[in-house]
Structure formats: C-alpha cells, structure tokens
C-alpha cells in the first residue's frame, strides 16, 4: 500500500481513478476500510490529506450487457 496526498477538490472516486485507473465498488470499499477517518472530511477532500491507496492489480472484468435480442 502507498500513501498519496489529496489535491483540493478531490473526491474518493476521483482520487481512486487518478491513482489506480479504476473507481469501482470494490476499490472504493477497500479504500474506506483502510481510511476510516476519511469520512470526517466530507464528500470533497481538502488539499494535503494523506490517503492510503490499496494495491489492486487487475481491473474487474467488464460484464457483457444483456439485450432483449440475445
């Protein structure tokens, strides 16, 4: 795991996408588990907050949408 600093205006999703290239539910749940005090800052993080970013290697597989004609 590594620590990064937030940039003014960051949300958890934006920070995850910038650092991991993904912001799915699994990544967000892991980040909240590693940083329980992060919720105290509200939905928009101030600049300079240290955040522990999880090391998630693979992106989740994209599910093929189901259509009525399948």
Q: Tokens 């910038």 sit at which residue?
A: 18
Q: What is the DSSP string of 1-68?
A: -EEEE--TTB-HHHHHHHHHS---HHHHHHHHHH-GGGGGG-SSBPTT-EEEEP---SPPPPPPPP-T
Residues 4-28 have a mean pLDDT of 92
pLDDT per residue as tens digits for the range 26-56:
899 999 999 999 999 999 999 999 999 998 8
Write down the mean pLDDT value for the chain. 88
Residues 13-38 have a mean pLDDT of 92
Domain boundaries, the chain: 2-53
- Whole-model pTM: value is 0.76
């Amino acid at each position: 795991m590594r620590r990064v600093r937030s940039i003014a205006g960051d949300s958890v999703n934006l920070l995850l996408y910038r650092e991991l290239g993904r912001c799915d539910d699994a990544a967000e749940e892991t980040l909240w588990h590693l940083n329980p005090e992060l919720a105290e800052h509200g939905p928009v993080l101030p600049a300079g907050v240290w955040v522990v970013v999880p090391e998630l290697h693979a992106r989740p597989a994209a599910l093929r949408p189901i259509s009525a004609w399948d």
